[in-house]
Amino acid sequence: MAEIKTKPTAISAEDFINTIPDIQKQKDCFVLIDRMKKATGQEPVMWGGSIIGFGNMRYESPRTGRQVDWFLVGFSPRKANLTLYIGAGSEAHTDALKILGKHKVSGGCLHINKLADVDLNVLQGMIDSYLSRK
C-alpha cells in the first residue's frame, strides 16, 4: 500500500471552518457537514489541513492500481469554491450533473461556488448514490 501525505488529523473540523473569513462559505460548510454526517453516520475528520472527510475506505487508483487509505466522502472549502469528493466524474452521476445547477467537474471532484447555486436534493442524491457503490 502506498503512503500519502494527506492523512487524518486531530484538528477540529468546526474550528477549521470557523477560521474561514467568508461567512456564507462557513454556513455552506456546516450544511455539508450535516448532510454528509447523516449520509455516512460518521463524524467529520480533518484530512491534512483543508479537507473534511467522513468514514474510511481503501481507495485503489484505476490508472495505477496504487492503494491508499482515504475517506468515503468529503469536501474542502477552497478560496475559489467548495470542492466535493463524491466521485463526480463517474458515469453514475451523468444525469444528476445535468440538473444539479452551476458547477464544474475535474478529476472526479465537484466544484461549486456556493450551495445556493445547486439543487441540494440533487446533490444529496449524488452523495447517497456514491456511498451506495462503496
User: pLDDT tens digits for 39-85?
Assistant: 999 999 999 999 999 999 888 877 888 888 889 999 999 999 999 99
Residue 4 lies in a domain: no
Residue 40 lies in a domain: yes
Cell (9 digits) for 35: 448532510
- The secondary structure of residue 29, as a DSSP letter, is H
Q: What does pTM read for this prediction?
A: 0.91
Residue 72 lies in a domain: yes
Please report where in the chains the cell 461549486 appears, as a residue: 112
Helix, strand, coil percent content, the chain, rounded in steps of 5? 35, 25, 35
Which tops the pLDDT comparison, 60 or 96? 96
Q: Rounded to an integer, what distance in angstroms lies between the CA atom of residue 59 and that of residue 69?
A: 6
Closest CA to 83 of 44, 29, 124, 134: 29
Q: What total number of domains does the chain contain?
A: 1
User: pLDDT tens digits for 1-53?
Assistant: 556 778 899 999 999 999 999 999 999 999 999 999 999 999 999 999 999 99
Residue 6 lies in a domain: no
- Do 75 and 29 meet the contact criterion of CB atoms below 8 Å apart? yes
Q: Rounded to an integer, what distance in angstroms lies between the CA atom of residue 92 and that of residue 130?
A: 8
User: In CATH, what number is assigned to the domain containing residue 57?
Assistant: 3.90.1150.200
Give the domain range for residue 47: 13-132
Cell (9 digits) for 95: 444525469
Which pLDDT does position 2 carry in this prediction? 56
Residue 107: exposure state from Cβ atoms within 10 A (0-12, 13-18, ≥19): exposed
